[in-house]
Amino acid sequence: MKMRIINKSDNPLPEYETEGSAGLDLRAFLKEPIMLKPLQRALIPTGLFIELPEGFEAQVRPRSGLALKKGLSILNSPGTIDSDYRGEIKIIVINLSNETAILNTGERIAQMVISEVERVVLIEVEELSETQRGEGGFGHTGII
């Protein structure tokens, strides 16, 4: 599949870091470094604009390395970019560590996974089919 992209940043286009990578790495596009205090969050621009084919979404997910090294994660995760969105991709980053963290331009801050999306037609009914689980909620299956 091919996807159109505009890159207004100084960073290279997102790429898969290894042959088996599921996500394209997204980089921060900043005029100056950003300091995030503990529990502080910021909306980080990427300078990227995409045109997804209809029937697809882009999921924005945290990077495990950034979480381990700096204690940074992404809110609203996974974030969904719909196929009809044409604005800049921006990432909501939060500092979950006990120390101030610094984000620099060009730093890999998230990953983007492209997924096919099924749309459903809702059929309103009075009751649903029976299952072994039934209405059992969190922890009902014994797996926590």
- Mapped onto helix, strand or coil, the DSSP state of residue 69 is helix
- What are the CA-CA distances from residue 41 to residues 65, 87, 102, 105 (Å)? 18, 21, 12, 16
Over residues 34-76, the pLDDT tens digits come to: 999 999 999 999 999 999 999 999 999 999 999 999 999 999 9
The residue among 143 and 30 whose pLDDT is bigger is 30
Q: For residue 141, name the pLDDT band (cuts at 50, 70, 90).
A: low
* pLDDT recorded at residue 132: 81
Q: Percent of the chain, pLDDT > 90?
A: 88
* pLDDT recorded at residue 84: 97
- What is the spatial distance between Cα 110 and Cα 43, in angstroms, rounded to a whole number? 12
Top CATH class of 21-116 equals: mainly beta
- What are the CA-CA distances from residue 34 to residues 10, 12, 40, 81 (Å)? 17, 20, 11, 24
Q: For residue 140, name the pLDDT band (cuts at 50, 70, 90).
A: low
